Amino acid sequence: LTFKKLRNSHPFKPIVTSIGVSAFLQAVVILIFGAGVGAYPRTNDVTLQSIELFNGNLVITHHQILLMVVAIVLLMGLGGFLKYSKTGKAVRAVGDNAQVAAILGINVARTIAIIFAIGTGLAAIAGMLIGGEQNLNPTMGLQLGIYAFVAVVLGGVGNVWGAMLGATIIGFLENFLVFYLRGPTSYRSSVVFLLMIIMLLFKPQGLLGTGNDAEVRK
């Protein structure tokens, strides 16, 4: 209802629209379910067990291991889908140039719908996995969405493996830096945004991205 009319407009408009739609949907959820904090019920959950490394200085729960394994499997599946399948190639073609893709006979509207379906499905799985790691609230996805955006900028726009690399770097950097500085966890967001600023200034195409600096900044 919103993005279709803005498909050929300046990229800034869909971004602003997505923020507005997100705020609206969050408000609807709050009206229906309330703004209170929730959590998954826990009864003898094996995912709560943990593994201690480095004399107890590093603790990894079974759920965190599950989260990482599922993320890797999904990203490998997504990468294979985009590279080898006919639909995946159509998605890449539309992403590169929708007008040329339409001329070549690709159904652009259907391909965009597939993109939305895949993105929504991955976000839903991510939400369920994160829900087992932290408390649930209607706005919990905001900071995670920002982190995801920074990961894409760091790894390279349009590169699945770049996004995975960027997310891994962010995760290790923020946690180890907070651990060694012994400071508050609020340092984490500062580190993430500082990293994004540095990348946009000196390597805006990302670590594994392509294209010149002007195209990426645009």
Q: Residue 122 in contact with residue 74, Cβ under 8 Å? A: yes
Task: With H, G, I as helix, E, B as strand and everything else as coil, classify residue 26.
Answer: helix
Q: Which residue's entry shows tokens 């079974």?
A: 62
Residue whose C-alpha is closest to residue 96's, from 157, 139, 149: 157
Task: With H, G, I as helix, E, B as strand and everything else as coil, classify residue 11.
Answer: coil
Residue whose C-alpha is closest to residue 171's, from 161, 179, 160: 179
Q: Residue 159 in contact with residue 141, Cβ under 8 Å? A: no
H or E segment to which residue 77 belongs? helix 62-84
Rg (CA), the chain: 19
Single-letter residue type at 121:
G
For the stretch 25-81, pLDDT in tens is 889 988 998 888 887 776 666 656 777 766 666 778 888 888 889 988 998 898 899
For the stretch 128-154, pLDDT in tens is 888 888 888 888 888 788 888 888 888
Q: What is the number of other CB atoms lying within 10 angstroms of the CB of residue 145?
A: 14
What is the model's pTM?
0.76
